[in-house]
Amino acid sequence: MRLVFMGSPDFAVPALKALIDAGHEIIAVYSQPPRPAGRGKALHYQPVHLAAESYNIDVRTPLKLKGNKEEIEFLKDSKLDAIIVAAYGLILPKDILSLPQKGCLNIHASLLPRWRGASPIQSSIRAGDKKTGICIMQMDEGLDTGDILLKAETDITTADTASTLHDRLSALGAELIVKSLIEQPHPIAQAENGATYAPRLYREDGRIDWSCTAQEIDCQIRAFTPWPGNFTTLNGQTIRIGSVEIIEPNQKIAPPGTILDDALTIACGQGLLRLTTLQKPGRAMMDADAFLRGFMVAKGACFE
């Protein structure tokens, strides 16, 4: 098939490669524009952009699509069978959605209608969901409201972080999008009951609220690894938390955030957690033992 692929981050790269390997003709790839990053402000190219260039595929990086006559004309003249979208970062307007013969297909990392929106992977872990998956969706003008073509499930384990689940779903999405183009299944409308929304995440979302239960904090820390990360403060210093272990899910013996012992056991609103990896200002993430050798943490002190 003649396709245009629209995607930006690592999540979308396996799908692009799978479509190429399956023999589809990728007319062009759309990705977010390169932007300055790091101390030197060198231009940072999106992973999909770099992957497309490695295949000598034309990469287009418009700042917007709505009202963009040049891009609309390009897509119209390309006589596409379908547009494939995976974490692209721009909303497709109606006049683009209607262009391809088979429409625009989105690879969405949740079991729709649960977790429509920008952060479905993180939201599913944070909520304590036991399952998630991939949906191949026929795009419409709504926010992830289109009909479902195919879906596949995967379990969320208590060891999963957003990073591990991201990689599993990325591979599953690649497999499913190729299958959907072969089988061309009949679309099924989403149920409106059970719809939930996954918001865009910001750094401040990673602040730990110690009044939550031990299980809720564990879910947040796994959900926000690696982005946006998790942090707390002690004596005015920001401490980043990489991982924790639930010691006791129900016990409540001290005010939330209290450091109970020299092993960094922390009282939560309900239950006890032990911090297993932490990061002090200006240093790398480290095991708790190494952290304590270089950072004074007094029993009875309280994280805020």
Residue 275 and residue 134: Cα distance in Å, rounded?
Answer: 32
- Write the DSSP assignment of 141-181 as a string of letters: SSSS-SPEEEEEEEE--TT--HHHHHHHHHHHHHHHHHHHH
Does residue 294 carry a pLDDT above 90?
A: no
Q: What burial letters (b/e) apply to 3-39, b meaning 16+ CB within 10 Å?
A: bbbbbbbebbbbbbebbbeeebebbbbbbbeeeeeee
The reported pLDDT for the residue numbered 259 is 96
The reported pLDDT for the residue numbered 13 is 98
Better pLDDT: 216 or 192? 216
Q: What is the pLDDT of residues 65-74, one digit of tens each?
A: 999 999 999 9
For residue 269, the SS3 value is coil
Which distant-in-sequence residues (6+ apart) come within 8 Å of 182 by Cβ?
A: none
| All structural domains of the chain with their residue ranges | 2-197, 203-293
Bridge partners, residue 258, by sequence: 302
The reported pLDDT for the residue numbered 99 is 96
Q: What is the pLDDT of residues 218-252, one digit of tens each?
A: 999 999 999 999 999 998 899 999 999 999 999 89
Pairing of strands 42-44, 35-37: antiparallel
Q: What is the pLDDT of residues 90-134, one digit of tens each?
A: 999 999 999 999 999 999 999 999 999 999 999 999 999 999 999
Residue stretches of the annotated binding site for (6S)-5,6,7,8-tetrahydrofolate: 110-113
DSSP code for 89: S
Residue (of 25, 32, 63, 62) closest to 47 by Cα position: 32
Residue stretches of the annotated binding site: 110-113
CATH class held by domain 203-293: alpha beta
- Which of 3.40.50.150, 1.25.40.20, 3.40.50.170, 3.90.1200.10 is the CATH number of 2-197? 3.40.50.170
Bridge partners, residue 241, by sequence: 278
pTM: 0.95
Q: Are 259 and 298 in contact (CB under 8 A)?
A: yes
The reported pLDDT for the residue numbered 281 is 84
171: left (phi over 0), alpha (psi -120 to 50) or beta: alpha
